[in-house]
Structure 1
Amino acid sequence: MNVIKDWAYKNLKGDPVIWFIVFLLSMLSILVVYSSTGSLAYKMMEGDTEYYLFKHSALVMLSLLAMWVAHKIDYRYYAKLSRLALWLSLPLLLFTWQFGTNINEASRWITIPLINQAFQPSDLAKLALVITLASMLSKRQKSIDDFQKAIIPILVWIGLICALIAMTNVSTAILLFGTCMLMLFIGRVPMKYLAILMIIGVIAGGLALTFGQRTGTAVSRVQSFFDEDETPFQAKQAYIAIATGGLTGKGPGQSDQRNYLPHPYSDFVFAIVLEEYGLIGGITVLFLYLALLYRGMKAAAESHRAYGGLLSAGLSFALVMQAMVNMGVAVGLGPITGLPLPLISMGGTSQLFTGLALGIILSVSRGEIDDIGSPLANNFKAKERIKEAA
């Protein structure tokens, strides 16, 4: 036991509570995904019911590895990398809109050659935009009232990325836009400029609904949500799962609705959590996400740099807001979306980018890298001193 503690102390830096929450949710993810994919694996993989278990477990381990690598790097380095990733995401989003791979009646993916793995460019764009926005806001704090120099570049990036994402994924674009609004508010952007951003968002959203691929689906889901006489099939099955789960649930692997509920391993995985682990399990998961938000905001508050604070706050909001939307949809508090539950839903590259985001939050929570003798830290410090002297 002492050996494990010593290894964790040396290798797992940053907020230990965040590490604990991520490990708990990751283990729950493996259990729930294995339970909810049993029937699918039996049909699709000729009786190999462990296929998705091993695949998902490997992706969970990969996301944890990405999280570990990301937290070892000083968070200040991500600012330059994010701008490159943001420029790269523009042609990828355009390509996805026109030529993306259609999965579950949505063209949101690009299939990576050789490994034959689906990649969702919006995941890259979301992470890059939040990091870039944190960098831009922190550099413009002294001139935040200058609309032309400080605000316009920020508004252009937000409007462009959110509009391109909305062409194929309206719910993700709306959630990202909301995250950006919160970051601008935290970054002391005047309210009049936030109002301008809202107008830009409405215009961009209207264009996306006009030319986008999922306009009809988005409109029909909103109409179904407000129509008391029409409950979508997915929602009905989710309600049955929740109702039969009761207070303590049916137990791990004992779900019945996994055989009827569409996508019980991704969009509606929280319904399976409630069915198997009951209201107690559902509240525990909710508490873990709220604790994750609190610890992310704590890291933001304790950061000595505006960039670090905005970065941790933005990434924490993005992850937890998505979790809240997913859970809200499962229990009938919002229209159906295609948003997965971070850290729990089965996914591909989305899990990898979730791990990267959490690793960056941990990098902020550990502070600037100041290990004596570290070439990376010393090189960065030397550049910082040169800038200050200039």
Structure 2
Amino acid sequence: MKRLGLILLRVFTAFDWPLLAILMMFAALGLTVMHSAVGGTDWRFAEQSRNFIIAFFAMWTMALIPPKLLMKLALPFYVVGVVLLLGVEFFGETSKGATRWLNLGVTRIQPSEMMKIAVPMMLAWYFQRHEGAVRIRDFLAAAAMLAAPFGLIVLQPDLGTALLVFGAGFFVIYFAGLSFKLLVPVMLAGVIGIGTLVYYEDQLCEPDVNWVVLHDYQKHRVCTLLNPSSDPLGKGFHTIQSMIAVGSGGVYGKGYMKGTQTHLDFIPERTTDFIFAVYAEEFGLYGGIAILVLYGLMMARGLTIASRASSQFGRLLAGALTMMLFIYVFVNVGMVTGILPVVGVPLPFMSYGGTALFTMGIAFGIMMSISRHRSVKT
């Protein structure tokens, strides 16, 4: 009995209870919306339920691993990830025009997913080693560590995952002390670039204009964002239909299981990338605000854990993983509402898919580990 009590104590003390409470609310909400999106309890609903269970155990497992051990795993985890990305580049399997998978014989993996965790872990470990003596060359070295996996993922091409990996890594570098003044020229260049694109849209979106840095399908997504009606039955169909669904929900929504855009099959990819359109149509503006507030509470808890961490490694890693959640939500809601191009980023804990849920489970397990060991010097 005493041994059982110790095991139960270890299980319960592994969790950060405020964060777990928010995650449980998202699990209930995610399955509720998925039930409506698929129109019942078909195989997709059953699989998503299983995915939540797997993600929960992944989170619990990571919560039991102390940050000191995570630091030791950071370098080999990163190196293995980069090697696997190189394997994808040379030996990967191509599907739907993208080479993202690597067949290991017994299973098939997508190495880019692990880099969402490996990159911020590696950079947090690096800055932990240079704590108190960070120089310009350290930021340059960190940028190179970030650029390598980011470039390999862009080549697949997988712009959505590349954006998330870049964001998670960038926030580690920023939280480590990167001066905001150095970002001003980059932000200014971005504003000028976007302004130029909007002003010269008609000329730049001509079929014979090559954007060099982007693939043709990525160029079409940007041009469709600027003018969805230019191809309403093709490239612009996703954006137009999702915007119609969000707008038709009004202030109060049409009611659960009563979304016409959803159940008449007008919303494309309604269980994955466009699940927010299903939610907004049925629960309206108030429902949309409520879920954004819930995400806000989750991010606030993550930043609180980061601020209370006992080491530089814990602070940087928890902060970066929290901001990665922000990027997930901002990009997904932005592309569903028509303010960002469609890049295939799921909505955390809402979209169907086991890989993204597993990754988020690991990320939040790491944050719980940092929270649990905040009083232990690592």
Structure 2 length-normalised TM: 0.81
Are the counterparts in 2 of residues 120 and 350 from structure 1 also a CA contact under 8 Å?
Answer: no
For 1:25, give the aligned amino acid: F
Task: Supply the distance in 2 between the matched residues of 1:132 and 1:293 (Cα, whole angstroms).
Answer: 22
For 2:287, give the aligned amino acid: G
Q: 2:328 aligns with which of 322, 334, 337?
A: 322
For 1:141, give the aligned amino acid: E
Q: Which residue of 1 aligns with 2:369?
A: 363
Are residue 293 (structure 1) and residue 299 (structure 2) matched?
yes
For 1:215, give the aligned amino acid: H
Range with bigger deviation, 277-286 or 158-167: 277-286
Are residue 55 (structure 1) and residue 47 (structure 2) matched?
yes
Are residue 268 (structure 1) and residue 256 (structure 2) matched?
no
Structure 1 length-normalised TM: 0.79
Are the counterparts in 2 of residues 134 and 183 from structure 1 also a CA contact under 8 Å?
Answer: yes
Are residue 143 (structure 1) and residue 126 (structure 2) matched?
no
Q: Secondary structure at the match of 2:132?
A: helix
Q: Which residue of 1 aligns with 2:154?
A: 166
Residues 58-111 of structure 1 deviation map (CA, whole Å, 9 limit, x = unaligned): 011100111111112212211222222211112322333455445555433346
Are residue 282 (structure 1) and residue 288 (structure 2) matched?
yes
Q: Which residue of 2 aligns with 1:26?
A: 27
Q: How many angstroms does 1:16 deviate by?
A: 2.0
RMSD between aligned alpha carbons? 3.0
Residues 280-311 of structure 1 deviation map (CA, whole Å, 9 limit, x = unaligned): 22111111111111111111111121111111
Q: How many angstroms does 1:190 deviate by?
A: 4.5
Task: Supply the distance in 2 between the matched residues of 1:172 and 1:95 (Cα, whole angstroms).
Answer: 17
Q: 1:241 aligns with which of 241, 245, 256?
A: 245
Cα gap change, 1:106/1:266 in structure 2, threshold over 3 Å: closer, same or farther? farther
Q: Secondary structure at the match of 1:141?
A: coil
Pairing 1:1-390 to 2, within 5 Å after superposition: 11=12, 13-38=14-39, 50-103=42-95, 105-110=97-102, 119-145=109-135, 147=137, 150-167=138-155, 168-190=157-179, 215-227=215-227, 229-230=229-230, 232-258=236-262, 259-368=265-374
For 1:78, give the aligned amino acid: L
For 2:16, give the aligned amino acid: D
Q: How many angstroms does 1:336 deviate by?
A: 1.1
Are the counterparts in 1 of residues 13 and 372 from structure 2 also a CA contact under 8 Å?
Answer: no
Are the counterparts in 2 of residues 181 and 194 from structure 1 also a CA contact under 8 Å?
Answer: no
Q: How many angstroms does 1:179 deviate by?
A: 3.3
Q: How many angstroms does 1:364 deviate by?
A: 1.2
Task: Supply the distance in 2 between the matched residues of 1:94 and 1:210 (Cα, whole angstroms).
Answer: 23
Cα gap change, 1:102/1:54 in structure 2, threshold over 3 Å: closer, same or farther? farther
Task: Supply the distance in 2 between the matched residues of 1:12 and 1:155 (Cα, whole angstroms).
Answer: 37
Task: Supply the distance in 2 between the matched residues of 1:8 and 1:24 (Cα, whole angstroms).
Answer: 23
Cα gap change, 1:104/1:277 in structure 2, threshold over 3 Å: closer, same or farther? farther
Task: Supply the distance in 1 between the matched residues of 2:303 and 2:165 (Cα, whole angstroms).
Answer: 18
Are the counterparts in 2 of residues 75 and 364 from structure 1 also a CA contact under 8 Å?
Answer: yes
Q: Which residue of 2 aligns with 1:204?
A: none
Q: Secondary structure at the match of 1:304?
A: coil
Task: Supply the distance in 2 between the matched residues of 1:153 and 1:87 (Cα, whole angstroms).
Answer: 15
Q: Secondary structure at the match of 1:32?
A: helix
Q: Which residue of 2 aligns with 1:387?
A: none
Residues 224-278 of structure 1 deviation map (CA, whole Å, 9 limit, x = unaligned): 2123642510011101211222223233333332312221111111111111222
For 2:151, give the aligned amino acid: A
Cα gap change, 1:256/1:289 in structure 2, threshold over 3 Å: closer, same or farther? same
Percent identity for Structure 1 against Structure 2: 28
Cα gap change, 1:109/1:288 in structure 2, threshold over 3 Å: closer, same or farther? farther
For 1:174, give the aligned amino acid: L
Cα gap change, 1:12/1:103 in structure 2, threshold over 3 Å: closer, same or farther? farther
Structure 1 unaligned residues grouped into runs of 5+: 1-6, 40-48, 199-208, 371-380, 385-390
Residues 315-352 of structure 1 deviation map (CA, whole Å, 9 limit, x = unaligned): 10012211111011111121111111111111122211
Task: Supply the distance in 1 between the matched residues of 2:333 and 2:375 (Cα, whole angstroms).
Answer: 36
Structure 2 unaligned residues grouped into runs of 5+: 1-7, 188-210
Are the counterparts in 2 of residues 74 and 368 from structure 1 also a CA contact under 8 Å?
Answer: no
